[in-house]
A and B are shown apart, each in its own frame.
Chain A
Amino acid sequence: MISASTLADGPLLGLPLPELWFALLFAIFGTFLFLDGFDFGAGAIFATLEDETAREAVLSAIGPFWDGNEVWLVVFGGALFASFPAVYADLFSRHYLLMFAILGALILRGLAPEMYEQRHDEGWQRWWGRSFVAGSVLAPFLLGAFAGNWLVGADRSLTLVGFVVGVTVVLLTVVSGAAFLRLKAGEYLPDAVTAYGVRAVVGYLGAVVVTLALLAVRLPDGIDTLLSPAVVALVVASIGLAAGYAVAMRRGAHLAALAASGGLTYGLVAVVAVVMYPLIDPAVGATVEGSIVSTLPLNLMSIGAAILLPLVVTYFVVLYSAFRGPVEPGEAY
């Protein structure tokens, strides 16, 4: 039996737990950005659809999934709070208005589809359709802006880096959204959706280049950091994944395209993590080692996460396999 006193002695199994939690946080954020990202992207593409069947198909495609996907953001917030409380407090209060803008966008995105389906008159559906699009585009933009500000240690909510990273993330959500929609509701959607995805992936690579250029200027030792083997490898892998995505979309291999967009998402998040490390809150120069909670709660949380996260993955497998294959418009909602 492991007692509280042995748990307080040192890190569990001698593992580098602060670094593992740092990595886990970004993995959780990446999972959120990929899973809810295709919901956001579906919302952006919704704006281009005129046909009612196509619009219903988009809502049906994300209907069973988005709430679960969004919980990854809740888990990210909770895990950051639990593992690096001072960082959580500093980041969230520093970007005060930005955080509430993110929450506002998420409220709009979550509520709008429910409202859209309530009534079928035109004015009502136009209003809630637009709200859905606005929430779906604003949420990733603002989340990207938050991540950009976090990375460069900005002390304001509105920065150039934040803006560019925001645009990058929005483009990325369109990339994954197009693949997801083709996979789940392809037959009800115009062929243009494929083209949107391919154009978005090109735009995404361009936006990444601009982001990296800005970081090179903005970060101390920016050029050295960006030329580190890990970052170079991630950028090269991203170019490969983007090309693979475009080919897969054109050939109709939508699951492969979706996987490629997932790779792109984790790649982007990994670049942020690699560039940031060993800091975790660059604005105040706080390091991963210096900001981690004390040993006892860290060990407890690590045990908890080791048990719970595999279970969570199982839930998602059950959910996505229950709704595998294409959906019918109006099936969900």
Chain B
Amino acid sequence: MIDPVIASRLQFALTTIVHIIFPVMSMGLAPFLVYFTWKDIRTDEAIYEQLRRFWTKIFAISFVVGTVTGIVLEFEFGTNFAAFSTTAGELFGGPLAVEGMMAFMLEATFLGVFVFGRDRVGDKLYMVSAVAVGLGTWLSAVWILIANSWMQTPRGYELVTENGQTVVHLVDPMAAYLNPRFGYMFVHMQNAAVESVALFMAGVAAYYVFRHHVWGVQIRNVEFWEATLKIALVALLITAPLQVLHGDMYGRHVAETQPQKFAAMEAVWDTESYVPEYIVAVPTSLEDITDPRAKDLFGIGIPGGASWLASGGDPSAEIRGLNSFDTESPPVAIVFWAFRAMVGLGFWFILLAFWGGYRWYTGELFEDGLLHKALMASSLGGIAATELGWIVTEVGRQPWVIQGVMKTSDGVSPGLTGTEAAITLAGFALVYGGLLVLYTYVVVRIIRGGPPSRGELRSVGGQSAESPAGVTGDD
């Protein structure tokens, strides 16, 4: 029978990997929606109402699916990781409780007003609800990342043995909650969300701009897609370089605080100085893929690059190898390749941003078909890079669930049987597969439906009530 530890870990991985898509969409859309709402109220220009109403539909469906998949994660700490929850609950439960009360409540209640209430409330309250929803999604991230970052760099606690059980006690809340990792993680994640949404918006808009300008197909509301493309490009020009810049700082911090994870990211087995950074690593055999070892890889290595990265400027710095740790190594292949793919995508997005910015500058933004194709191909790339980043973070910290304190295998519910865990794992594979299909279906329908046409708009005196700013694709 399947091992409950393996099944629980697979299930948590699966449910998190699926869930994170939806918060990325809602957190990333939040600043855009606040901006669109502000401009819509202030200028009464049709385009901003269209932008607000169209992207609110995508936001709403993402939020709903994010809610139902998010509750699953909260429950899984108790169902599958009861030993972890008992040990760490004192530090870990608090942020989750506060997240619910401070953030989730704010977003979920004002979401009702924001999505359904345009005709029922005045401009001021409507603007407040847009800000409240956006703020709520970001505050959610604050508390969830406080909880997660504490597991990566635990501080402000002591270990106490109670009734034969070792339990974490909170002694210094500031040190625990504002632990060293939190800032890096929050900035990197929130910027990733905005960048991912910018890429998504740009990709969708590029499709319609391409069909209209390059293929000459008549597209209804083409000016809406042109505006979307420009706004997305601006966001991408800001977020893409930032992401790589503080990603670099984040990487250095990982090298300092989680050396085992860093060694896995670089596939360094023996402690060495002058470790090169393989920016391009080409596997020449199956073994290179499943068991990468930096020394044996064929690729383009910057001499001393990894050492430079880890130490913040010293190419001769020593990097501790995986063999020097007492604990088993994390799955190196996953961490090593996920890290490379994420970084590669990060640089590609910078290139895309500058390419688009340059075409905009030369006045050929709507004519460069190759750029449009590159944007379309990259529309889900931001989400993919975010997933890869989380894979590096979470797989890379193994075997620890709390770095240096508790191993993941010790955190699983003691009474859980392999059969139970297998049933729910299979159930989730099925249900979440369906969920992804349905979410994609709805989002594609919303995109196909396009923005509301001018006759339906409040800002141009349209008659139709704004009811379906909700989640429906068709009115």
Whether B415 lies near A75 (C-beta < 8 A) is no
Which chain B residues (224-267) contact chain A, with CB distance < 8 Å? none
The one of A4, A79, A315 in contact with B174, judged by C-beta atoms closer than 8 angstroms, is A4
Whether B413 lies near A96 (C-beta < 8 A) is yes
The one of A88, A106, A304 in contact with B89, judged by C-beta atoms closer than 8 angstroms, is A88
Looking at chain A, what size class is its interface with the partner chain? 35 or more
Whether B89 lies near A81 (C-beta < 8 A) is yes
Residues in B whose Cβ lies below 8 Å from that of A158: none
Q: Is B20 an interface residue (CB 8 A)?
A: no
Residues in A whose Cβ lies below 8 Å from that of B174: 4
| Separation of A118 and B474 alpha carbons in the complex (Å) | 7
Closest to A309 in B: B101
Give B142-173 as 1s and 0s: 1 = Cβ < 8 Å from A's Cβ atoms.
00000000000000000000000000011111
Q: Is A103 an interface residue (CB 8 A)?
A: yes
Nearest-neighbour CB distance to chain B for A80, whole angstroms, equals 8
Q: Is B115 an interface residue (CB 8 A)?
A: yes
Whether B83 lies near A89 (C-beta < 8 A) is yes
Whether B71 lies near A73 (C-beta < 8 A) is yes
Residues in A whose Cβ lies below 8 Å from that of B85: 81, 85-86, 88-89, 92
Which chain A residues (53-82) contact chain B, with CB distance < 8 Å? 63-65, 67-68, 70-71, 73-75, 77-79, 81-82
Residues in B whose Cβ lies below 8 Å from that of A219: none
Given known A-B contacts A85-B89, A107-B435, A111-B435, A74 and B100 have beta carbons under 8 A apart: yes
Whether A64 lies near B113 (C-beta < 8 A) is yes
Q: Is A213 an interface residue (CB 8 A)?
A: no
Q: Is B291 an interface residue (CB 8 A)?
A: no
The one of B91, B93, B100, B427 in contact with A83, judged by C-beta atoms closer than 8 angstroms, is B93
Which chain B residues (404-446) contact chain A, with CB distance < 8 Å? 413-416, 420, 423-424, 427, 431, 435, 438, 441-442, 445
Closest to A304 in B: B98
The one of B98, B115, B431, B468 in contact with A107, judged by C-beta atoms closer than 8 angstroms, is B431
Whether B117 lies near A77 (C-beta < 8 A) is no
Residues in B whose Cβ lies below 8 Å from that of A278: none
| Separation of A293 and B427 alpha carbons in the complex (Å) | 34
Whether B173 lies near A74 (C-beta < 8 A) is no
Whether A64 lies near B101 (C-beta < 8 A) is no
Residues in A whose Cβ lies below 8 Å from that of B99: 78
Residues in B whose Cβ lies below 8 Å from that of A318: 109-110, 113, 125
Whether B94 lies near A297 (C-beta < 8 A) is yes
Closest to B419 in A: A97
Whether A82 lies near B93 (C-beta < 8 A) is yes
Residues in A whose Cβ lies below 8 Å from that of B445: 118
Give A236-269 as 1s and 0s: 1 = Cβ < 8 Å from B's Cβ atoms.
0000000000000000000000000000000000
Closest to B120 in A: A322
Nearest-neighbour CB distance to chain A for B158, whole angstroms, equals 10
| Separation of A81 and B81 alpha carbons in the complex (Å) | 12
Q: Is A94 an interface residue (CB 8 A)?
A: yes
Q: A-side binding surface: helix, strand, loop or mixed?
A: helix
Which chain A residues (127-183) contact chain B, with CB distance < 8 Å? none
Whether A93 lies near B79 (C-beta < 8 A) is yes
Whether A89 lies near B67 (C-beta < 8 A) is no
Whether A64 lies near B427 (C-beta < 8 A) is no
Closest to B176 in A: A297
Given known A-B contacts A93-B78, A96-B424, A106-B68, A78 and B116 have beta carbons under 8 A apart: no
| Separation of A316 and B81 alpha carbons in the complex (Å) | 33
Closest to B75 in A: A99
Residues in B whose Cβ lies below 8 Å from that of A79: 97, 100-101
Whether A78 lies near B427 (C-beta < 8 A) is no
Whether B109 lies near A93 (C-beta < 8 A) is no
| Separation of A82 and B416 alpha carbons in the complex (Å) | 22
Residues in B whose Cβ lies below 8 Å from that of A297: 90-91, 94, 170, 173
| Separation of A76 and B95 alpha carbons in the complex (Å) | 13
9-residue interface stretch from B58-66, B196-204, B324-332: B58-66
Whether A315 lies near B101 (C-beta < 8 A) is no
Q: Is B112 an interface residue (CB 8 A)?
A: yes
Whether A99 lies near B78 (C-beta < 8 A) is yes
Whether A115 lies near B438 (C-beta < 8 A) is yes
Given known A-B contacts A64-B115, A114-B471, A118-B473, A322 and B125 have beta carbons under 8 A apart: yes
Closest to A328 in B: B467
Nearest-neighbour CB distance to chain B for A275, whole angstroms, equals 23
Whether B171 lies near A319 (C-beta < 8 A) is no
Given known A-B contacts A81-B77, A111-B65, A301-B97, A74 and B470 have beta carbons under 8 A apart: no
The one of B90, B112, B116, B413 in contact with A293, judged by C-beta atoms closer than 8 angstroms, is B90
Residues in A whose Cβ lies below 8 Å from that of B420: 96-97
Q: Is A289 an interface residue (CB 8 A)?
A: no
Given known A-B contacts A63-B470, A74-B70, A296-B171, A305 and B465 have beta carbons under 8 A apart: no
Whether B96 lies near A82 (C-beta < 8 A) is yes
Q: Is B121 an interface residue (CB 8 A)?
A: yes
Given known A-B contacts A68-B109, A332-B467, A93 and B80 have beta carbons under 8 A apart: yes
Whether A111 lies near B93 (C-beta < 8 A) is no
The one of B97, B427, B471 in contact with A75, judged by C-beta atoms closer than 8 angstroms, is B97
Residues in A whose Cβ lies below 8 Å from that of B74: 74, 77-78, 81
Whether A93 lies near B82 (C-beta < 8 A) is yes
Whether B90 lies near A118 (C-beta < 8 A) is no
Nearest-neighbour CB distance to chain A for B327, whole angstroms, equals 24
Residues in A whose Cβ lies below 8 Å from that of B125: 318, 322
Residues in B whose Cβ lies below 8 Å from that of A67: 63-64, 67, 108, 111-112
Q: Is B102 an interface residue (CB 8 A)?
A: yes
Whether B96 lies near A331 (C-beta < 8 A) is no
Whether B94 lies near A75 (C-beta < 8 A) is no
Whether B109 lies near A315 (C-beta < 8 A) is yes
Residues in B whose Cβ lies below 8 Å from that of A8: 171
| Separation of A309 and B111 alpha carbons in the complex (Å) | 18
Whether B64 lies near A111 (C-beta < 8 A) is yes
Q: Is A110 an interface residue (CB 8 A)?
A: yes
Give A23-46 as 1s and 0s: 1 = Cβ < 8 Å from B's Cβ atoms.
000000000000000000000000
| Separation of A333 and B404 alpha carbons in the complex (Å) | 49
Closest to A308 in B: B101
Q: Is B472 an interface residue (CB 8 A)?
A: yes
Given known A-B contacts A93-B416, A331-B465, A81 and B97 have beta carbons under 8 A apart: yes
Q: Is B374 an interface residue (CB 8 A)?
A: no
Residues in A whose Cβ lies below 8 Å from that of B90: 85, 293-294, 297
Whether A64 lies near B116 (C-beta < 8 A) is yes
Closest to A290 in B: B163
Nearest-neighbour CB distance to chain B for A106, whole angstroms, equals 6
Q: Is B106 an interface residue (CB 8 A)?
A: yes
* Additional A-B contacts beyond A100-B79, A304-B98, A308-B98 (12; CB < 8 A): A4-B173, A68-B112, A89-B82, A96-B416, A107-B69, A107-B435, A117-B470, A118-B442, A300-B173, A315-B110, A318-B125, A331-B467
Across the A-B interface, give the 6 residue pairs with the lowest CB-CB distance, nearest first: A85-B89, A92-B78, A64-B112, A82-B93, A81-B93, A89-B82
- 9 chain-A/chain-B pairs, Cβ below 8 angstroms: A77-B78, A86-B86, A88-B77, A93-B78, A96-B413, A97-B424, A111-B438, A114-B471, A322-B125
Chain B residues within 8 Å of A, Cβ to Cβ? 61, 63-65, 67-72, 74-75, 77-83, 85-86, 88-94, 96-102, 104-106, 108-113, 115-117, 120-121, 125, 132, 169-174, 413-416, 420, 423-424, 427, 431, 435, 438, 441-442, 445, 465, 467-468, 470-474
